[in-house]
Protein backbone atom coordinates (compact mmCIF):
# COMPACT_ATOMS: atom_id res chain seq x y z
CA UNK A 1 0.00 0.00 0.00
CA UNK A 2 1.27 3.49 -0.85
CA UNK A 3 2.63 5.40 2.14
CA UNK A 4 3.07 9.17 2.21
CA UNK A 5 6.31 8.71 4.11
CA UNK A 6 7.92 6.82 1.24
CA UNK A 7 7.84 9.68 -1.29
CA UNK A 8 11.55 10.68 -0.96
CA UNK A 9 12.67 7.26 -2.21
CA UNK A 10 10.72 7.35 -5.45
CA UNK A 11 11.66 8.89 -8.79
CA UNK A 12 10.09 12.34 -9.11
CA UNK A 13 10.50 14.91 -11.86
CA UNK A 14 9.24 18.27 -13.08
CA UNK A 15 9.49 19.19 -16.78
CA UNK A 16 8.61 22.36 -18.65
CA UNK A 17 8.02 22.61 -22.40
CA UNK A 18 6.75 25.25 -24.81
CA UNK A 19 4.14 24.67 -27.48
CA UNK A 20 2.27 26.79 -30.00
CA UNK A 21 -1.48 27.13 -30.44
CA UNK A 22 -2.93 28.45 -33.70
CA UNK A 23 -6.49 29.67 -34.10
CA UNK A 24 -8.54 28.52 -37.06
CA UNK A 25 -10.15 31.97 -37.03
CA UNK A 26 -8.27 34.87 -35.37
CA UNK A 27 -10.20 36.44 -32.50
CA UNK A 28 -10.58 40.23 -32.34
CA UNK A 29 -11.74 41.95 -29.15
CA UNK A 30 -11.64 45.56 -27.98
CA UNK A 31 -7.94 45.27 -27.00
CA UNK A 32 -6.64 43.63 -30.19
CA UNK A 33 -6.55 40.46 -32.29
CA UNK A 34 -5.01 37.08 -31.47
CA UNK A 35 -4.11 34.50 -34.12
CA UNK A 36 -1.40 32.41 -32.43
CA UNK A 37 0.03 32.07 -28.93
CA UNK A 38 2.83 30.20 -27.22
CA UNK A 39 1.94 28.30 -24.05
CA UNK A 40 3.80 26.23 -21.47
CA UNK A 41 3.10 22.70 -20.32
CA UNK A 42 4.36 21.82 -16.85
CA UNK A 43 4.61 18.07 -16.22
CA UNK A 44 5.07 16.34 -12.88
CA UNK A 45 5.77 12.61 -12.72
CA UNK A 46 5.88 10.28 -9.73
CA UNK A 47 4.78 6.69 -9.07
CA UNK A 48 3.89 6.14 -12.71
CA UNK A 49 1.39 9.02 -12.68
CA UNK A 50 1.90 12.14 -14.78
CA UNK A 51 0.26 15.42 -13.80
CA UNK A 52 0.03 18.22 -16.36
CA UNK A 53 -0.61 21.92 -16.02
CA UNK A 54 -0.80 24.69 -18.61
CA UNK A 55 -0.13 28.39 -18.61
CA UNK A 56 0.52 31.18 -21.07
CA UNK A 57 0.82 34.93 -21.34
CA UNK A 58 -2.22 37.19 -21.57
CA UNK A 59 -3.19 40.85 -21.21
CA UNK A 60 -6.32 42.21 -19.54
CA UNK A 61 -5.55 45.85 -20.23
CA UNK A 62 -4.52 46.64 -16.65
CA UNK A 63 -2.40 43.53 -15.98
CA UNK A 64 -0.20 41.64 -18.45
CA UNK A 65 2.03 38.56 -18.34
CA UNK A 66 4.37 37.30 -21.04
CA UNK A 67 5.02 33.61 -21.63
CA UNK A 68 8.76 34.28 -21.34
CA UNK A 69 8.27 35.78 -17.88
CA UNK A 70 6.14 32.84 -16.78
CA UNK A 71 8.80 30.43 -18.02
CA UNK A 72 11.43 32.29 -15.98
CA UNK A 73 9.27 32.12 -12.85
CA UNK A 74 8.73 28.39 -13.22
CA UNK A 75 12.35 27.62 -14.08
CA UNK A 76 13.42 29.38 -10.88
CA UNK A 77 10.81 27.52 -8.81
CA UNK A 78 11.22 23.94 -9.98
CA UNK A 79 14.56 23.20 -8.26
CA UNK A 80 12.94 24.18 -4.94
CA UNK A 81 10.14 21.62 -5.44
CA UNK A 82 12.42 18.62 -5.89
CA UNK A 83 12.60 17.58 -2.23
CA UNK A 84 9.04 18.38 -1.18
CA UNK A 85 6.18 15.91 -0.78
CA UNK A 86 3.71 16.71 -3.62
CA UNK A 87 0.79 15.71 -1.40
CA UNK A 88 1.74 18.24 1.28
CA UNK A 89 0.08 21.33 -0.16
CA UNK A 90 0.51 23.16 3.15
CA UNK A 91 4.32 23.05 2.84
CA UNK A 92 4.16 23.90 -0.87
CA UNK A 93 1.98 26.97 -0.34
CA UNK A 94 4.76 29.40 0.76
CA UNK A 95 6.69 28.56 -2.42
CA UNK A 96 3.68 29.05 -4.70
CA UNK A 97 2.29 32.21 -3.11
CA UNK A 98 4.93 34.63 -4.55
CA UNK A 99 4.28 33.42 -8.10
CA UNK A 100 2.16 35.38 -10.53
CA UNK A 101 -1.33 33.85 -10.89
CA UNK A 102 -0.68 32.28 -14.32
CA UNK A 103 2.63 30.74 -13.18
CA UNK A 104 0.98 29.37 -10.04
CA UNK A 105 -1.81 27.97 -12.21
CA UNK A 106 0.56 25.62 -14.04
CA UNK A 107 1.85 24.10 -10.79
CA UNK A 108 -1.57 23.92 -9.18
CA UNK A 109 -3.10 22.07 -12.14
CA UNK A 110 -0.19 19.63 -12.42
CA UNK A 111 -0.52 18.77 -8.73
CA UNK A 112 -4.30 18.29 -8.90
CA UNK A 113 -3.94 16.17 -12.04
CA UNK A 114 -1.27 13.99 -10.40
CA UNK A 115 -3.17 13.67 -7.11
CA UNK A 116 -6.40 12.65 -8.86
CA UNK A 117 -4.56 10.03 -10.90
CA UNK A 118 -2.75 8.74 -7.82
CA UNK A 119 -6.13 8.27 -6.10
CA UNK A 120 -7.81 6.99 -9.27
CA UNK A 121 -10.48 9.72 -9.16
CA UNK A 122 -11.40 12.72 -11.33
CA UNK A 123 -10.71 16.04 -9.65
CA UNK A 124 -14.38 17.00 -9.65
CA UNK A 125 -15.07 13.97 -7.45
CA UNK A 126 -12.33 15.07 -5.04
CA UNK A 127 -14.28 18.34 -4.80
CA UNK A 128 -17.46 16.37 -4.01
CA UNK A 129 -19.23 17.47 -7.20
CA UNK A 130 -21.60 15.63 -9.54
CA UNK A 131 -19.68 15.24 -12.79
CA UNK A 132 -22.60 13.61 -14.59
CA UNK A 133 -24.33 16.92 -15.31
CA UNK A 134 -23.79 18.60 -18.66
CA UNK A 135 -24.33 22.21 -19.70
CA UNK A 136 -24.08 24.11 -22.98
CA UNK A 137 -20.94 26.14 -23.56
CA UNK A 138 -21.09 29.44 -25.36
CA UNK A 139 -19.09 30.05 -28.54
CA UNK A 140 -17.50 33.39 -29.27
CA UNK A 141 -17.91 35.89 -32.08
CA UNK A 142 -15.04 38.38 -32.29
CA UNK A 143 -15.22 41.91 -33.60
CA UNK A 144 -15.29 42.65 -37.32
CA UNK A 145 -17.61 43.89 -40.01
CA UNK A 146 -21.24 42.81 -39.88
CA UNK A 147 -20.67 40.36 -42.74
CA UNK A 148 -17.54 38.93 -41.09
CA UNK A 149 -19.25 38.38 -37.75
CA UNK A 150 -22.34 36.75 -39.26
CA UNK A 151 -20.08 34.56 -41.41
CA UNK A 152 -18.20 33.47 -38.28
CA UNK A 153 -21.51 32.59 -36.64
CA UNK A 154 -22.44 30.42 -39.62
CA UNK A 155 -19.05 28.72 -39.42
CA UNK A 156 -19.67 27.88 -35.77
CA UNK A 157 -23.02 26.36 -36.68
CA UNK A 158 -21.37 24.18 -39.30
CA UNK A 159 -19.02 22.92 -36.56
CA UNK A 160 -21.57 22.32 -33.77
CA UNK A 161 -25.21 23.10 -32.93
CA UNK A 162 -24.36 26.07 -30.71
CA UNK A 163 -27.26 27.61 -28.82
CA UNK A 164 -25.31 30.03 -26.64
CA UNK A 165 -23.51 32.82 -28.49
CA UNK A 166 -21.14 35.33 -26.92
CA UNK A 167 -20.75 38.47 -29.02
CA UNK A 168 -17.71 40.69 -28.48
CA UNK A 169 -18.50 44.40 -28.56
CA UNK A 170 -16.60 47.53 -27.54
CA UNK A 171 -15.46 48.18 -31.10
CA UNK A 172 -13.01 50.98 -31.86
CA UNK A 173 -15.57 52.02 -34.51
CA UNK A 174 -17.92 53.08 -31.73
CA UNK A 175 -21.35 52.25 -30.38
CA UNK A 176 -23.12 52.62 -33.72
CA UNK A 177 -21.04 49.75 -35.10
CA UNK A 178 -21.71 47.76 -31.94
CA UNK A 179 -25.43 48.29 -32.44
CA UNK A 180 -25.20 47.10 -36.04
CA UNK A 181 -23.38 43.92 -34.95
CA UNK A 182 -25.88 43.36 -32.19
CA UNK A 183 -28.89 43.71 -34.48
CA UNK A 184 -27.43 41.43 -37.16
CA UNK A 185 -26.48 38.66 -34.74
CA UNK A 186 -29.78 38.87 -32.89
CA UNK A 187 -31.67 38.50 -36.17
CA UNK A 188 -29.51 35.54 -37.23
CA UNK A 189 -30.13 33.83 -33.87
CA UNK A 190 -33.88 34.38 -34.12
CA UNK A 191 -34.02 32.93 -37.64
CA UNK A 192 -31.79 29.98 -36.74
CA UNK A 193 -33.78 29.23 -33.60
CA UNK A 194 -37.06 29.25 -35.48
CA UNK A 195 -35.68 27.08 -38.26
CA UNK A 196 -34.20 24.47 -35.91
CA UNK A 197 -36.74 24.85 -33.10
CA UNK A 198 -34.02 25.73 -30.61
CA UNK A 199 -33.94 28.24 -27.78
CA UNK A 200 -31.04 30.57 -28.54
CA UNK A 201 -29.13 32.73 -26.06
CA UNK A 202 -27.17 35.89 -26.82
CA UNK A 203 -24.49 37.14 -24.41
CA UNK A 204 -22.44 40.31 -24.83
CA UNK A 205 -18.86 40.90 -23.68
CA UNK A 206 -17.42 44.37 -24.22
CA UNK A 207 -14.01 43.48 -22.72
CA UNK A 208 -13.89 46.90 -21.10
CA UNK A 209 -14.38 48.70 -24.42
CA UNK A 210 -17.07 51.12 -23.20
CA UNK A 211 -17.11 54.09 -20.90
CA UNK A 212 -19.74 54.17 -18.18
CA UNK A 213 -21.86 56.54 -20.26
CA UNK A 214 -21.56 54.32 -23.34
CA UNK A 215 -22.57 51.27 -21.30
CA UNK A 216 -25.66 53.12 -20.12
CA UNK A 217 -26.44 54.29 -23.65
CA UNK A 218 -26.23 50.72 -24.99
CA UNK A 219 -28.84 49.35 -22.60
CA UNK A 220 -31.87 49.88 -24.84
CA UNK A 221 -30.17 48.14 -27.77
CA UNK A 222 -29.06 45.25 -25.57
CA UNK A 223 -32.58 44.75 -24.26
CA UNK A 224 -34.11 44.99 -27.73
CA UNK A 225 -31.72 42.27 -28.95
CA UNK A 226 -32.71 39.98 -26.08
CA UNK A 227 -29.22 39.89 -24.53
CA UNK A 228 -29.19 37.65 -21.44
CA UNK A 229 -26.02 39.00 -19.78
CA UNK A 230 -23.51 41.83 -20.09
CA UNK A 231 -19.88 41.05 -19.29
CA UNK A 232 -17.17 43.57 -18.31
CA UNK A 233 -18.62 46.65 -20.04
CA UNK A 234 -16.03 49.10 -18.61
CA UNK A 235 -12.27 48.64 -18.45
CA UNK A 236 -10.82 47.09 -15.31
CA UNK A 237 -8.46 49.34 -13.33
CA UNK A 238 -5.85 48.55 -10.69
CA UNK A 239 -7.45 50.79 -8.06
CA UNK A 240 -10.05 48.48 -6.47
CA UNK A 241 -12.24 51.35 -5.24
CA UNK A 242 -12.46 52.92 -8.70
CA UNK A 243 -12.99 49.53 -10.30
CA UNK A 244 -15.85 48.65 -7.93
CA UNK A 245 -17.40 52.09 -8.30
CA UNK A 246 -17.84 51.62 -12.05
CA UNK A 247 -19.94 48.48 -11.55
CA UNK A 248 -21.88 50.12 -8.73
CA UNK A 249 -22.72 53.07 -11.00
CA UNK A 250 -23.92 50.88 -13.87
CA UNK A 251 -25.83 48.25 -11.90
CA UNK A 252 -29.04 50.31 -11.35
CA UNK A 253 -29.24 50.92 -15.11
CA UNK A 254 -28.54 47.34 -16.24
CA UNK A 255 -31.67 45.28 -16.90
CA UNK A 256 -29.75 42.03 -17.46
CA UNK A 257 -27.23 40.12 -15.33
CA UNK A 258 -23.99 42.08 -15.01
CA UNK A 259 -20.83 39.93 -14.98
CA UNK A 260 -17.27 40.90 -14.01
CA UNK A 261 -14.34 39.28 -15.82
CA UNK A 262 -11.12 41.30 -16.08
CA UNK A 263 -11.98 42.96 -12.76
CA UNK A 264 -12.25 39.68 -10.83
CA UNK A 265 -9.07 37.66 -10.20
CA UNK A 266 -9.28 36.23 -6.70
CA UNK A 267 -11.41 35.91 -3.58
CA UNK A 268 -10.77 39.51 -2.53
CA UNK A 269 -12.09 40.77 -5.87
CA UNK A 270 -15.15 38.55 -5.59
CA UNK A 271 -15.97 39.89 -2.13
CA UNK A 272 -15.68 43.55 -3.16
CA UNK A 273 -17.64 43.10 -6.40
CA UNK A 274 -20.40 40.81 -5.10
CA UNK A 275 -22.79 43.59 -4.01
CA UNK A 276 -22.61 45.20 -7.45
CA UNK A 277 -22.64 42.32 -9.96
CA UNK A 278 -24.78 39.28 -10.69
CA UNK A 279 -21.92 37.02 -11.73
CA UNK A 280 -18.17 36.67 -12.14
CA UNK A 281 -16.11 34.94 -14.80
CA UNK A 282 -13.62 32.50 -13.28
CA UNK A 283 -10.52 31.91 -15.39
CA UNK A 284 -7.82 29.63 -14.06
CA UNK A 285 -4.97 31.81 -15.37
CA UNK A 286 -6.40 34.73 -13.38
CA UNK A 287 -7.15 32.78 -10.20
CA UNK A 288 -3.86 30.90 -10.12
CA UNK A 289 -5.40 27.51 -10.78
CA UNK A 290 -8.20 25.31 -9.52
CA UNK A 291 -7.51 25.74 -5.81
CA UNK A 292 -8.44 29.44 -5.71
CA UNK A 293 -11.20 29.01 -8.32
CA UNK A 294 -12.76 26.23 -6.23
CA UNK A 295 -12.68 28.47 -3.15
CA UNK A 296 -14.19 31.37 -5.12
CA UNK A 297 -16.93 29.12 -6.49
CA UNK A 298 -17.94 28.01 -3.00
CA UNK A 299 -18.00 31.57 -1.67
CA UNK A 300 -19.92 32.82 -4.72
CA UNK A 301 -22.64 30.26 -4.00
CA UNK A 302 -22.97 31.60 -0.45
CA UNK A 303 -23.15 35.17 -1.79
CA UNK A 304 -25.75 34.24 -4.44
CA UNK A 305 -23.37 35.29 -7.23
CA UNK A 306 -23.67 33.27 -10.45
CA UNK A 307 -20.61 31.85 -12.15
CA UNK A 308 -19.19 31.85 -15.63
CA UNK A 309 -16.03 29.90 -16.35
CA UNK A 310 -14.00 31.13 -19.27
CA UNK A 311 -10.75 30.91 -21.18
CA UNK A 312 -8.16 32.87 -23.09
CA UNK A 313 -6.37 31.30 -26.08
CA UNK A 314 -6.18 28.05 -24.14
CA UNK A 315 -5.79 24.45 -25.17
CA UNK A 316 -8.03 21.60 -24.16
CA UNK A 317 -5.76 20.97 -21.14
CA UNK A 318 -6.63 24.27 -19.45
CA UNK A 319 -10.27 24.01 -20.50
CA UNK A 320 -10.43 20.42 -19.23
CA UNK A 321 -9.13 21.65 -15.89
CA UNK A 322 -11.76 24.41 -15.81
CA UNK A 323 -14.43 21.83 -16.69
CA UNK A 324 -13.89 20.18 -13.29
CA UNK A 325 -16.08 22.99 -11.90
CA UNK A 326 -18.86 22.71 -14.50
CA UNK A 327 -21.43 21.37 -12.00
CA UNK A 328 -21.32 24.80 -10.31
CA UNK A 329 -21.34 26.95 -13.46
CA UNK A 330 -24.34 28.75 -14.93
CA UNK A 331 -22.53 30.12 -17.99
CA UNK A 332 -19.68 27.95 -19.34
CA UNK A 333 -17.50 29.70 -21.90
CA UNK A 334 -14.91 27.06 -22.77
CA UNK A 335 -14.67 27.25 -26.53
CA UNK A 336 -11.06 28.31 -27.21
CA UNK A 337 -9.87 24.76 -27.96
CA UNK A 338 -12.69 24.38 -30.48
CA UNK A 339 -11.04 27.12 -32.54
CA UNK A 340 -7.56 25.56 -32.66
CA UNK A 341 -5.93 23.73 -35.57
CA UNK A 342 -3.10 22.23 -33.49
CA UNK A 343 -4.45 21.40 -30.03
CA UNK A 344 -2.15 18.67 -28.65
CA UNK A 345 -4.65 17.31 -26.11
CA UNK A 346 -7.83 15.27 -25.96
CA UNK A 347 -10.35 14.20 -23.36
CA UNK A 348 -13.02 16.94 -23.15
CA UNK A 349 -15.97 15.84 -25.23
CA UNK A 350 -19.05 17.64 -26.48
CA UNK A 351 -22.48 16.19 -27.17
CA UNK A 352 -24.02 18.82 -29.39
CA UNK A 353 -23.00 21.96 -27.53
CA UNK A 354 -23.29 20.24 -24.14
CA UNK A 355 -20.06 19.93 -22.18
CA UNK A 356 -19.37 17.56 -19.29
CA UNK A 357 -16.37 17.24 -17.00
CA UNK A 358 -14.03 14.40 -18.05
CA UNK A 359 -14.70 11.10 -16.28
CA UNK A 360 -11.08 9.88 -16.25
CA UNK A 361 -8.83 10.25 -13.21
CA UNK A 362 -7.13 13.56 -12.49
CA UNK A 363 -8.04 16.25 -15.01
CA UNK A 364 -8.91 13.49 -17.49
CA UNK A 365 -6.86 15.09 -20.27
CA UNK A 366 -4.13 13.30 -22.26
CA UNK A 367 -1.86 14.18 -25.14
CA UNK A 368 -3.38 13.40 -28.51
Give per-residue pLDDT as tens, 89-115. 899 999 999 999 999 999 999 999 999
Domain boundaries, given as residue ranges, for the chain: 4-120, 125-367
- Helix, strand or coil, per DSSP, at residue 366: strand
Residues 6+ apart with CB under 8 A from 139: 156, 160, 162, 164, 165, 166, 335, 338, 353
Domain 4-120 has CATH 3.30.390.10: yes
Q: What is the pLDDT of residues 269-325, one digit of tens each?
A: 999 999 999 999 999 999 999 999 999 999 999 999 999 999 999 999 999 999 999
Q: Which of 57, 56, 64, 59 is nearest to 30 (CA)?
A: 59
Helix H or strand E segment including 321? helix 316-322
Query: What was the pLDDT predicted at 2?
Result: 27
Query: What was the pLDDT predicted at 86?
Result: 87
Yes or no: say if 232 and 215 are a contact pair by the CB < 8 Å rule. no
Q: What is the pLDDT of residues 54-91, one digit of tens each?
A: 999 999 999 999 999 999 999 999 999 877 888 888 99
How far, in Å, CA of 195 to CA of 184, rounded? 17
Residues 6+ apart with CB under 8 A from 347: 316, 320, 358, 360, 363, 364, 365, 366
How far, in Å, CA of 233 to CA of 204, rounded? 9
- Helix, strand or coil, per DSSP, at residue 332: strand
Instruction: Give the CA count within 13 Å in the CB-facing half-sphere of 219.
Output: 15
Q: How many residues does the chain have?
A: 368
Q: Class of the 125-367 domain?
A: alpha beta
Amino acid sequence: MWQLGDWRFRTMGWFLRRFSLTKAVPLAISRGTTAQVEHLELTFSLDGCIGRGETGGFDTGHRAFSTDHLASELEALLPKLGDLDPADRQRLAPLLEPLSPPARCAVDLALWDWWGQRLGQPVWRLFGLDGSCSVATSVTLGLGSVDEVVSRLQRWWRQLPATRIKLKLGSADGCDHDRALLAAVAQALQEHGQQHQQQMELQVDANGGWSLEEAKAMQASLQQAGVVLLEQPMAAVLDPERDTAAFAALKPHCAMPLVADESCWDLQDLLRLAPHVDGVNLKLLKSGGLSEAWLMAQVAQRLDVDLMIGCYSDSLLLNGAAAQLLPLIRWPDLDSHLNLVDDPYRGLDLVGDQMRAPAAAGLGITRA
